[in-house]
Structure 1
Amino acid sequence: MIERLESPAPAELDALTALWEGSVRATHDFLAPEDIAFFRRMVREEALSGVEELYVIRDSENRFAAFAGIEAGNLEMLFVAPGKRGKGLGRELVEYLVAHRGVRRVDVNEQNAQATGFYARMGFRVVSRSDTDPSGRPYPILHLSL
């Protein structure tokens, strides 16, 4: 079941950040360890509380299994816990956000082949490309749209 998480408590932010890190370590093998540390701080201190809306799916033990954040029709983040990947949680979140929250755009790291394939299967198409990520690091970003 998808739940909107409003005003996450510090413990929830910690749990979401840990889920983010596990997911990134499983899927973003192109990132250097210092990049993960840099982004981890940014995710915990800025990104999670900075999105307009944050949605989560919990597992049977009430732990976070996946989450997504949106802002002005953009899917800003989508992460699935490593042990929960391949079970349709990412698809469930994206389909919900497209149908009910007006999401039409997403940015993805070009080197993340799993994510680019996932979004292509969801109907997103590349509309442009940036040579660096928003923080100026050398990780090209694909800008996708439905």
Structure 2
Amino acid sequence: MSAAPVILLRESREPEDFEELTNVWRDSVEATHHFLSLEAIDRLEPRIRDEYLPRLRIQVAERNGSILGFIGMKNRQVSMLFVADEVRSTGVGSKLLEWAQQQFPRLVLDVNEQNPRAAVFYIKRGFTPVGRSETDAHGLPHPLLHMSWDGAAR
């Protein structure tokens, strides 16, 4: 029996990766963010590619040259963590989050309350809810849970 192909982490190659990262983002959002309409996702997609990704430090998970997921950091804030639907629950997200936890002794993030699997994912990895907002960063009625992780307290 052969070993499963290894998942490699690397820094994003900007901007060459942005189209594939955006495709992973869209695949993940369509599978997990059922509270967003396809029209809302369509409106967000060019902003993700052209505005949000260029502002972040991005670590990519890939296997055999294909991007499986990515984490986008702004200092110690996890701004994005998205995994292609076909590899969800296979350890890709955990590997990316572990990378971030090795970079920073403390992390913060916001997670959509309407995506409960994501909130559970973070709680299982040591994050604690520390607050809540009724709206997202754009003022839309998508409640956010504010979470933090303190590696020094572990």
The yes-or-no answer on 1:138 pairing with 2:141 is yes
Indicate if the aligned counterparts of 1:70 and 1:103 stay in contact, CA closer than 8 A.
no
Aligned-pair identity in percent equals: 36
C-alpha separation in 1, matches of 2:55 and 2:121:
25
C-alpha contact 2:134 2:144 (8 A) present in aligned 1: yes
TM-score, length basis structure 1: 0.92
Q: CA deviation at 1:102?
A: 4.3
The reply to whether residue 7 of structure 1 matches residue 14 of structure 2 is: yes
Give the structure-2-normalised TM-score: 0.88
Over 3 Å counting, the alpha-carbon distance change for 1:137 and 1:54 in structure 2 is: same
Where in structure 2 are there 5+ consecutive unaligned residues? Answer: 1-7, 150-154
Compute the RMSD of aligned alpha carbons: 1.2
Q: Tell me how far 1:8 sits from its aligned partner.
A: 2.4
Q: Unpaired runs of 5+ in structure 1?
A: none
- 1:65 deviates by 0.4
Structure 1 segment 66-105 matched on structure 2, within 5 A: 66-102=69-105, 104-105=107-108
SS of structure 1 residue aligned to 2:36:
coil
Structure 2 counterpart SS, 1:29: coil
* Structure of larger gyration radius: 2
Is the deviation greater in 28-37 or in 135-144?
Answer: 28-37
* Matched residue count: 142
Pick from 54, 79, 83 the counterpart of residue 58 of structure 2: 54
